[in-house]
Amino acid sequence: MIYGQKIRLRSAEKEDLKTFVRWFNDPHVRQHLTMFRPLSMAQEERWFENLLQQENEVFFVIDIDTENHWTPLGTVGLHPIDWKNRSAVFGICLGTPDDWGKGYGTDAVRTMLRYCFEELNLNRVELNVFEDNERAIRCYEKSGFRQEGLKRQAMYRHGKYVDVIIMSVLKGEFILKRFDPPIQQV
C-alpha cells in the first residue's frame, strides 16, 4: 500500500471492475475523460487482463478511510511510462461526484507524484486536461503541475470543440515544494 494523508493507493482486483464500470458510465464523470462509449463489463474485463501484462503502465485504486473501513474512491495511473526518458502520462478519476472538492484528489495526486519521483525515479510527469475542467486544473496546480502547452480544439464533446491543456511537473520542482510526507508508511 502507498499511504497519503487521507487516502491510500492499492492494486486493483477483479472485484473492483464492477465499481469501475459504474463510475465510468456516469455522464458527470465521463464528461471529463476521453472515453465516449458506454463501457461494458466484458470490455472492462478484457482491459484488466491486458493491464496485468503491461510493464509500462501503473494503475492503482484510491481508497479512503471511512470509519476504519477502506472504501474505493477512484483510480489513478500512469499510461504509459517511458522508462528510457523517465517520463510518464498521468491520469486520475474520482468516481463519485459527491466526493469531488474535498481534497481527496490533491492528496492522491501528491501521493502518486511522490511514488513517481521517489520510487520509480521518474523525472517528468505530464497530463492532458480539458480547458473547462477547472477543478482538475486547480488540483494539478496545487500539486506542482504547470501548464506547458495547449492543443487547440483537440476534443469534440457536447457538440463543440474544446482546447486541451498540457501540464507537467518535473522531479526537481516537486521535491522543492516539500509537500507533507504521508502520515502512515508501511
Binding site for ligand COA (CB under 6 A): 29, 32, 74, 92-94, 100-106, 129, 133-136, 138-139, 142
Q: Which is nearer to ligand COA, 76 or 122 (CB)?
A: 76
> Considering the complex, what minimum distance in angstroms separates the CB of residue 5 from ligand COA?
11
Alpha helices (H) in 98-168, listed in sequence order: 104-118, 134-142
Q: Of all residues in this chain, which one has the CB nearest to ligand COA in the complex? A: 105
- Cell numbers 463543440 correspond to 160
C-alpha cell at 117: 519521483
Alpha-carbon gap, residue 132 to 177, rounded angstroms: 27
> Considering the complex, what minimum distance in angstroms separates the CB of residue 55 from ligand COA?
24
- The gap between the terminal CA atoms of the chain, to the nearest Å, is 7
Measure Cα distances from 117 to 44, 110, 111 in Å.
29, 10, 10
Q: Which is nearer to ligand COA, 14 or 102 (CB)?
A: 102
Q: Which is nearer to ligand COA, 132 or 173 (CB)?
A: 132
Alpha helices (H) in the chain, listed in sequence order: 17-24, 27-30, 41-53, 104-118, 134-142, 171-177
> Considering the complex, what minimum distance in angstroms separates the CB of residue 35 from ligand COA?
11
> Considering the complex, what minimum distance in angstroms separates the CB of residue 122 from ligand COA?
19
- Cell numbers 503491461 correspond to 54
Q: Which is nearer to ligand COA, 94 or 113 (CB)?
A: 94
